[in-house]
Structure 1
Amino acid sequence: MFGKQKSAVTVIVKGGFEEARLRGDRRLGTEHLLLGLLHHEESARTIGVDLAAARAALDELDRAALRMLGVEVGDLPATPRKHPPVPATALTSSARAVLNQAIRATTVKTREAQVPRHLALNLLAQKRPDPVAQLIDQLGLDRAALHGRLA
């Protein structure tokens, strides 16, 4: 009929790897997992942030870090450079832990429906200096309110 739908976990993880590649990052981090969650429509609605806004916030964090080092970056090209894919095994230890916790919190039967929620909760629980904590703050997300919607 309509073909097989991709699983939520596949959409999120592949989206995270794609975001890392687009940014030219060599590893998938927790910030990429948050961007990957925004590739999943239901998760994006729950979080209340669109992908473009999250990308812009992450770019601003990068610019701020460079300014702290005395480097001023001008306007970036609208079309990103072509970067090679990020290897499937290239996860930061924090990203691997968050993803594993989300999977372990589910059963095989509930995994499809529950991993996105558990992943979002685990990402919200991260503290600075983890990049996703900085991104959540940059986006102005209310952690308590979002936690309440997800729990």
Structure 2
Amino acid sequence: MFEQFARDTRRIVGYAMEEARGRGDKRLGTEHLLLGALHEPEPAAVLGITLDDAHNAASRLDAAALKAIGLETRNLKGVTMPTKGRKPPFSSGAKEVMANMVKQAMDQKSRQITTSNLLVALLDREEHDPVSALFEELKVDKTTVRARLR
């Protein structure tokens, strides 16, 4: 499947792996795919957000989740996974995003899976998916982004 990915889309998946490791996560999730996309200028421009904004929003969401179970994050230090070596496995949501990207490309009769396919697949995630929470925290207007992608 990855051989069908456009060069920038492959880079984004690599950045997403780095993001998952850097955040200390054992799985590559939909939120990591978004963070990976923001390493590239075109998706950042289409979404109207920066990588720094997304990192800050993800940290706020993490802190809120920990606070909800009674943990304060003020004195906690993040743990990073090794940057080399084993690739983090994809979460079920990330696998669904990949399947959606392939379906979109097939529907478009395209030979390549593009960054646009990735962004649409991320925008299609349901309310309780981590990337949807991140979009909401960043106040991304999904309708506006979809129009830009057309």
> Normalising to structure 2: TM-score of the pair?
0.84
Q: Which runs of 4+ in 1 moved over 4 A?
A: 107-110
- SS in structure 1 at match of 2:87: coil
> What are the equivalent positions in structure 2 for 1:1-150 lying under 5 Å apart?
7-74=7-74, 81-85=79-83, 87-88=86-87, 90-106=89-105, 110-111=111-112, 115-150=114-149
1:87: Cα distance to partner?
3.7
> Partner amino acid for 1:16?
A
Please say if residues 11 and 39 of structure 1, whose CA atoms lie closer than 8 Å, have aligned partners that are also in contact: no
Q: Which shifted more, 55-64 or 102-111? A: 102-111
Deviation at 1:64, TM superposition (A): 0.3
Tell me if the contact between 2:20 and 2:88 (Cα under 8 Å) persists in the aligned partners.
no
2:30 touches 2:122 (CA, 8 Å); kept in 1? yes
Write the distance in 2 (CA, Å) between the matches of 1:96 and 1:50.
Answer: 25
Structure 1: give runs of 5+ residues left out of the alignment: 1-5
The amino acid that maps onto 1:98 is V
Task: Structure 2: state its 5+ residue gaps.
Answer: 1-5
User: Which deviates more, 6-15 or 42-51?
Assistant: 6-15
Structure 1 vs Structure 2 CA RMSD: 2.2
Q: Is the CA contact (8 Å cut-off) linking 1:16 and 1:33 kept in structure 2?
A: yes
SS, match of residue 88 in structure 1: coil
TM-score with structure 1 setting the length: 0.84
Conservation of the 8 A alpha-carbon contact between 1:8 and 1:116: yes
Aligned length: 142
Q: Give the Cα separation in 2 of the matches to 1:129 and 1:87.
A: 28
In 1: Cα distance, 2:86 partner to 2:117 partner: 24
Q: Percent identity?
A: 35
Give the letter aligned to residue 73 of structure 2. V
Aligned amino acid, residue 43 of structure 1: P
Q: Give the direction of change, closer, same or farther, for the CA distance of 1:81–1:65 in structure 2 (3 Å limit).
A: closer
